C-alpha cells in the first residue's frame, strides 16, 4: 500500500489510483472524470481531476463525494491550486488530495488552497516534506486554511 | 512610506528561512535544477551568462535612505560595488554568489526589503507613477492601493504557478506615467459621474513578442472590490491561460482568444463567487494603507519669492539653470520641486549606480527630501520633495557625483535592458548600442532642439527595455548567429498608448548611430513648430523615415 500525508501525518493509503481499464465497481477505486461522470449513482465515489478538467461538473454532488484527487503531472502547472480552492469555497468537505509531481515546497500553498492530503510521486521524502507545511505561520490573504485576510485580523 | 509591523516582518523572515533551506537542498543535490528553477525565480534569482543575477523588489519604486545604504553595503560586500535599476523599478545585482544569496536576503530583511516574486510565473512587483503623491495632475495617490495589492499578491497560494509572469500597474493621475496599458492588469483611479473615485480595470496589455494595448474590463469599480475583482481575473487566467506555448501564455493572448466581452463575462462569473467575501476591502484597511502615505512636514513657503530666488540663481549660473529646467518638475506644493537624478551619464550603462552614489543619494535624501527616494521605470532615481531653495546646493553635490546629467526625458535618457552583456536570454547586446548613441548625440543643444524623445532598447523579444512603446524602439535580433538590431517607430506609453511599427530590415551594431541620426533628421525636416517627435510621426507616418534610412547610397 502506498503512503501519503494526511492532515499532517503519514498514513497508509486505502484508495486505488484511477485506471481507465479498472472495474469501476470497487468501493475504494478512484475514478477518472469520465468514469465518474458516467456513473448513475455517484454516492460514495471518488474522482480525480487532471489539469484542464475544471471542477464545475462536481459542484452539484459535493456532498456525495468522499475524495477528490487533483493530479499534478508537472509541478509548474498551477491550475490545480484554483480547482482545490473552488471546491472548498463551494463547500466540499471530503478529502482533497494532491497527487503526482508537485514538490514539497508547494505544500504550504496547496494546503492553503484546501488540500488536506498529499500523495507524492516519490514517497521517500515524506517525513521531510511534512515539515514544509510549517514554512509560514502568517499569511496576507484569505484562503481555505485562514478564511480572513490579514487586514481583518491585524491588531 | 509603508512600515512593516510584526506580521510583515514575520512573513519576510520566514521566506528567507524557506529560501535558505531550498538553496541548501539544491546545493546538496536534493532539489533538481528543474525543481529549483521556479523556486529561485520566485525569489528573483536568475542564472545568467556570467553569474547569477538577483533582482531585489522595490515595491512601487519607493525606498528610504536606510534601505539605500543597505543596498550600497550589499553591493560592496556581496557584489562588485554597483547595482542596476530595472525597468520595473527594482534593483538588480549582477554578480552575487548563489551560496550567499540567502545571506543577502537576510540582510535585506533587516531593512524591510526582499526579493519575493521579482521573477517567475507569478504576480510581480506592482509599479506606479514615480511622482505619486507629489504630481500636480494627480486625482488620488495610487500608492496605498499598490501596497494593498502588494500584500494580497505576496505569496498568494493560488497564483504562484501561473501560465506566465503577471504584472500589475496602478496610476492615479491625468497623465499616465505607469504605462498601465502595457500591463497584464492596469488599474486607473478615476471618478465616476457623481465624483466618487473608484478603479478602472484594464487587462490584457503587454509587450513581448506580441505587443498589445490593454482592454477595459471594468469602467468603474468601487474601491472595496479591488482585490476580489483582481482575484477573479487571476482565477480565469490561471485556469484558462495557455500553458502549451510560453509565447502564447500571457493573459493578453487569452483576452484576444476569448474576445474582451467573453473574457469580461468569465471574470464577472468568477467574481460572483468572490464578491463581498472576506477579501472585500474594509474602510479601515483603506485608511490604514493611506495613513502611510500622508504628507511630510512641508514648510509653508511663498511661491513668488521662492521663484524669484530660483530664477536669480539660474540666471547667474546657466548650467544650474539648465539642469533645473531639464531635470526638475513642478511639485504639488508651493516652493518645492521634484528632482530627477539621471543615471544616464554617457559612458555608463543606463540605470547603473555605484555603492558610493547610493550612499550619497541616501545622504541627500536625508538632507533634502524627507529621507525618501524613488526609482523609476525609466531607470533613474527621484528625490520627490526638494525645497527650491535647496536646489543649488543639491545640484552641486549631484554634479560632483555624476548624477546631474541634464538629459531627463531627452534622447540620451534612454531605457535599456542589461542585454547580452549580462542576460542569458539576449539575442544581442544592448548597452554598447546605448553607449554609441549617447556618444554620438552628446550635444545638449541638439538634444534639447529635438525635444523629449523616448528611446528604448531591448536585447531580445522579452522586451524588458520596453522597445515597443518607445517613440524609437530598438530590438536586438539574431541573424544567423550575428547580432542585429531592428528599429520601430511611433510607440507610446502614455494614455494614448500605441505600439511602435517596424521600420524595415535590421541593422548591424555599428550602423545604429547613423540610423538614429537619419530618423532624427527626418523628423527635424518635417516637423512643424509645435510638433514633438511622436506628433510628426503620427502625422506623416513611417514612409518618410523609411525612405531616408533605406535610401541606397550612390
Ligand atoms: S529584453 Fe531580453 S536581453 Fe534584455 S533583459 Fe530582457 S530577456 Fe534579457
SS3 assignment, position B370: coil
Q: Is-contact B380 B87, C-beta < 8 A?
A: no
Q: Write the DSSP assignment of B411-463 as a string of letters.
A: TTS-EE--GGGT-TT-SS--HHHHHHHHHHT--HHHHHHH-S--EEEESSTT-
Range B415-549: architecture per CATH: 2-Layer Sandwich (3.30)
User: Which pLDDT score is estimated for A1?
Assistant: 66
Q: Is-contact B466 B182, C-beta < 8 A?
A: yes
User: Which pLDDT score is estimated for B49?
Assistant: 66
User: Which pLDDT score is estimated for B22?
Assistant: 95
Enter the pTM of the model: 0.93
Instruction: Name the residue among B17, B239, B279 with its Cβ closest to that of A79.
Output: B239
Tell me which residues of chain A have a C-beta less than 8 Å from any C-beta of chain B: 51, 54, 75-79, 81-83, 85-86, 89-90, 103, 105-106, 108-110, 112-113, 135-143, 147-152, 154
Nearest residue to B125 via CA among B52, B50, B63: B63
B1-119+336-405 and B415-549 have identical folds: no
What is the distance between the alpha carbons of residues B325 and B327, in angstroms, rounded to a whole number?
A: 6
SS3 assignment, position B401: coil
| Pairing of β A46-49 and β A30-32 | parallel
What is the distance between the alpha carbons of residues A31 and A37, in angstroms, rounded to a whole number?
A: 9
B481 burial level (CB within 10 Å; 0-12, 13-18, 19+): exposed
Q: How many CA atoms lie within 13 A of A82 on its CB side?
A: 28
Residues facing residue B190 across a β-bridge = B198
Q: Is-contact B78 B104, C-beta < 8 A?
A: yes
Residues facing residue B477 across a β-bridge = B484
Query: If you measure from the C-alpha of residue B208 to the centroid of ligand 1, how many angstroms do you get, rounded to a whole number?
Result: 10
Share of chain A above pLDDT 90, in %: 83
For B426-448, give one letter per residue: b (16+ CB within 10 A) or e.
bbbbbbbbbbbbbebbeeeeebb
ipTM over 0.85: yes
How big is the CA angle at B274 (ends B271 and B275), to the nearest 5 degrees? Answer: 75
Q: Is-contact B242 B121, C-beta < 8 A?
A: no
User: Which pLDDT score is estimated for B424?
Assistant: 85
Residues facing residue B502 across a β-bridge = B488
B197 burial level (CB within 10 Å; 0-12, 13-18, 19+): middle
Residues of chain A neighbouring B227 (CB-CB closer than 8 A): 149
What CATH number matches the domain at A3-153, 1.10.8, 3.30.2010, 3.40.50, 1.10.287?
Answer: 3.40.50
User: Which pLDDT score is estimated for A109?
Assistant: 97
Q: Is-contact B172 B187, C-beta < 8 A?
A: no
B336 C-beta neighbours (distance < 10 Å), count? 25
Q: Inter-chain contact B160–A152, Cβ cutoff 8 Å?
A: no
Q: How many CA atoms lie within 13 A of B407 on its CB side?
A: 29
Nearest residue to B102 via CA among B29, B23, B8: B23
Torsion of CA B361, B364, B369, B372, to 10 degrees: 30
| Pairing of β B455-458 and β B472-479 | parallel
Nearest residue to B492 via CA among B474, B475, B469, B472: B469
pLDDT tens profile A19-46: 887 676 777 899 999 999 999 999 999 9
Which ligand 1 atom is the nearest neighbour of the CA of B418?
5
pLDDT tens profile A45-90: 999 999 999 999 999 999 999 999 999 999 999 999 999 999 999 9
Distance (Å) from the alpha carbon of B370 to chain A's nearest alpha carbon: 28
**Which grid cell is B267?**
471574470
pLDDT tens profile A86-123: 999 999 999 999 999 999 999 999 999 999 999 998 88
Query: If you measure from the C-alpha of residue B207 to the centroid of ligand 1, how many angstroms do you get, rounded to a whole number?
Result: 12
pLDDT along chain B (554 residues), means of 10: 96 97 93 91 83 92 98 96 93 92 97 96 95 96 98 98 97 92 96 97 89 94 98 98 94 96 97 96 97 95 95 96 96 97 92 97 98 95 98 97 95 93 90 94 93 95 91 94 95 86 95 96 94 96 96 63
What is the distance between the alpha carbons of residues B252 and B241, in angstroms, rounded to a whole number?
A: 9
Residues of chain B neighbouring A147 (CB-CB closer than 8 A): 278
What is the distance between the alpha carbons of residues B153 and B162, in angstroms, rounded to a whole number?
A: 13
Helix (H) or strand (E) holding B545: helix B543-550
CATH number of B135-290: 3.30.413.10
Query: If you measure from the C-alpha of residue B140 to the centroid of ligand 1, how many angstroms do you get, rounded to a whole number?
Result: 33
Residues of chain A neighbouring B235 (CB-CB closer than 8 A): 82, 86
Domain ranges of chain B: 1-119+336-405, 135-290, 415-549
Q: Inter-chain contact A147–B278, Cβ cutoff 8 Å?
A: yes
Nearest residue to B198 via CA among B172, B160, B232: B172
Instruction: Name the residue among B14, B160, B235 with its Cβ closest to that of A135.
Output: B14
| Pairing of β B501-502 and β A95-100 | unpaired
Q: Inter-chain contact A137–B10, Cβ cutoff 8 Å?
A: yes
Range B1-119+336-405: architecture per CATH: Alpha-Beta Complex (3.90)
Q: Is-contact B159 B234, C-beta < 8 A?
A: yes
Nearest residue to B482 via CA among B427, B403, B410, B553: B427
What is the distance between the alpha carbons of residues B30 and B22, in angstroms, rounded to a whole number?
A: 9
Contacts across the A-B interface (CB distance below 8 Å): 108
Which ligand 1 atom is the nearest neighbour of the CA of B460?
2
| Sign of the torsion formed by the C-alpha atoms of B287, B290, B291 and B297 | negative
Distance (Å) from the alpha carbon of B189 to chain A's nearest alpha carbon: 22
Mutate which of B49, B430, B458 for ligand 1 pocket (most atoms within 8 A of beta carbon): B458
In B, minimum Cα distance to A124 occurs at: B30
User: Which pLDDT score is estimated for A62?
Assistant: 96
B130 C-beta neighbours (distance < 10 Å), count? 25
What is the distance between the alpha carbons of residues B281 and B367, in angstroms, rounded to a whole number?
A: 37
Helix (H) or strand (E) holding B93: strand B91-93
Q: Write the DSSP assignment of B118-152 as a string of letters.
A: SSSSSB---EE-TTTTT-TTBSS-SHHHHHHHHHH
Amino acid at each position: 500500500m502506498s503512503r501519503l500525508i494526511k492532515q499532517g501525518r503519514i498514513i497508509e493509503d486505502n484508495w486505488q489510483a484511477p485506471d481507465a481499464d479498472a472495474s469501476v465497481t470497487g468501493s475504494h477505486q478512484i475514478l477518472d472524470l469520465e468514469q465518474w461522470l458516467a456513473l448513475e449513482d455517484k454516492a460514495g465515489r471518488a474522482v480525480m481531476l487532471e489539469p484542464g478538467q475544471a471542477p464545475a461538473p462536481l459542484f452539484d454532488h459535493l456532498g456525495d463525494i468522499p475524495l477528490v484527487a487533483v493530479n499534478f503531472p508537472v509541478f509548474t502547472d498551477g491550475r490545480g491550486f484554483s480547482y482545490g480552492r473552488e471546491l472548498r469555497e463551494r463547500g466540499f468537505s471530503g478529502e482533497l488530495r494532491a497527487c503526482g509531481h508537485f514538490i514539497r515546497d508547494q505544500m504550504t500553498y496547496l494546503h492553503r488552497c484546501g488540500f488536506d492530503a498529499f500523495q507524492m510521486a516519490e514517497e521517500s521524502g515524506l517525513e521531510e516534506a511534512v515539515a514544509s507545511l510549517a514554512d509560514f505561520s502568517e499569511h496576507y490573504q484569505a484562503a481555505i486554511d485562514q478564511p480572513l485576510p490579514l487586514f481583518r485580523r491585524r491588531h | 512610506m509603508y512600515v512593516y509591523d510584526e506580521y510583515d516582518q514575520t512573513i519576510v523572515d520566514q521566506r528567507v528561512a524557506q529560501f535558505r533551506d531550498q538553496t541548501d537542498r539544491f546545493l546538496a543535490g536534493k532539489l533538481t535544477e528543474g525543481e529549483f528553477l521556479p523556486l529561485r525565480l520566485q525569489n528573483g534569482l536568475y542564472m545568467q551568462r556570467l553569474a547569477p543575477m538577483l533582482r531585489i523588489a522595490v515595491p512601487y519604486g519607493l525606498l528610504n535612505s536606510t534601505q539605500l545604504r543597505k543596498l550600497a553595503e550589499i553591493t560592496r560586500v556581496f557584489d562588485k560595488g554597483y547595482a542596476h535599476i530595472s525597468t520595473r523599478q527594482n534593483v538588480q545585482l549582477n554578480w552575487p554568489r548563489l551560496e550567499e544569496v540567502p545571506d543577502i536576503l537576510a540582510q535585506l530583511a533587516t531593512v524591510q526589503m526582499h526579493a519575493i516574486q521579482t521573477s517567475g510565473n507569478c504576480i510581480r512587483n506592482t509599479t506606479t507613477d514615480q511622482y505619486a503623491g507629489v504630481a500636480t495632475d494627480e486625482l488620488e495617490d495610487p500608492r496605498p492601493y499598490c501596497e494593498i495589492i502588494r500584500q494580497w499578491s505576496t505569496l498568494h497560494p493560488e497564483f504562484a504557478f501561473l501560465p506566465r509572469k503577471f504584472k500589475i500597474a496602478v496610476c492615479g493621475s491625468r497623465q499616465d506615467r505607469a504605462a498601465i496599458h502595457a500591463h497584464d492588469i492596469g488599474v486607473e483611479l478615476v471618478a465616476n459621474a457623481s465624483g466618487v473615485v473608484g478603479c478602472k480595470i484594464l487587462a490584457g496589455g503587454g509587450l513581448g513578442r506580441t505587443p498589445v494595448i490593454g482592454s477595459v474590463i471594468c469602467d468603474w469599480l468601487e474601491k472595496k472590490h479591488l482585490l476580489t475583482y483582481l482575484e477573479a481575473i487571476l482565477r480565469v487566467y490561471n485556469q484558462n491561460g495557455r500553458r502549451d506555448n510560453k509565447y502564447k501564455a500571457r493573459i493578453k493572448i487569452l483576452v484576444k482568444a476569448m474576445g474582451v466581452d467573453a473574457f469580461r463575462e468569465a471574470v464577472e462569473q468568477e467574481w460572483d463567487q468572490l464578491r463581498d467575501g472576506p477579501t472585500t476591502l474594509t474602510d479601515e484597511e483603506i485608511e490604514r494603507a493611506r495613513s502611510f502615505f500622508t504628507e511630510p512636514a512641508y514648510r509653508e513657503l511663498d511661491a513668488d519669492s521662492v521663484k524669484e530666488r530660483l530664477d536669480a540663481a539660474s540666471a547667474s549660473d546657466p548650467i544650474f539653470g539648465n539642469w533645473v529646467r531639464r531635470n526638475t518638475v513642478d511639485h504639488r506644493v508651493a516652493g518645492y520641486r521634484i528632482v530627477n537624478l539621471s543615471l544616464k551619464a554617457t559612458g555608463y550603462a543606463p540605470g547603473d549606480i555605484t555603492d558610493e552614489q547610493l550612499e550619497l543619494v541616501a545622504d541627500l535624501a536625508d538632507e533634502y527630501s524627507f529621507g525618501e527616494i524613488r526609482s523609476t521605470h525609466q531607470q533613474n532615481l527621484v528625490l520627490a520633495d526638494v525645497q527650491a531653495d535647496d536646489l543649488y546646493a543639491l545640484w552641486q553635490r549631484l554634479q560632483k557625483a555624476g548624477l546631474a546629467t541634464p538629459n531627463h526625458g531627452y534622447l540620451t535618457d534612454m531605457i535599456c535592458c542589461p542585454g547580452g552583456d549580462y542576460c542569458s536570454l539576449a539575442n544581442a547586446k544592448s548597452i554598447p548600442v546605448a553607449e554609441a548613441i549617447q556618444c554620438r548625440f552628446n550635444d545638449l543643444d541638439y538634444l534639447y532642439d529635438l525635444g523629449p524623445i523616448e528611446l528604448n532598447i531591448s536585447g531580445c523579444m522579452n522586451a524588458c527595455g520596453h522597445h515597443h512603446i518607445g517613440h524609437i524602439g530598438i530590438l536586438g535580433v539574431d541573424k544567423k548567429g550575428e547580432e542585429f538590431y531592428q528599429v520601430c517607430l511611433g510607440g507610446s506609453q502614455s494614455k494614448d498608448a500605441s505600439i511602435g511599427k517596424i521600420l524595415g530590415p535590421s541593422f548591424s551594431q555599428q550602423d545604429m548611430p547613423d540610423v538614429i541620426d537619419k530618423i532624427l533628421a527626418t523628423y527635424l525636416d518635417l516637423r512643424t513648430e509645435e510638433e514633438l517627435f511622436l506628433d510628426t510621426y503620427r502625422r506623416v507616418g513611417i514612409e518618410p523615415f523609411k525612405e531616408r534610412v533605406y535610401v541606397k547610397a550612390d
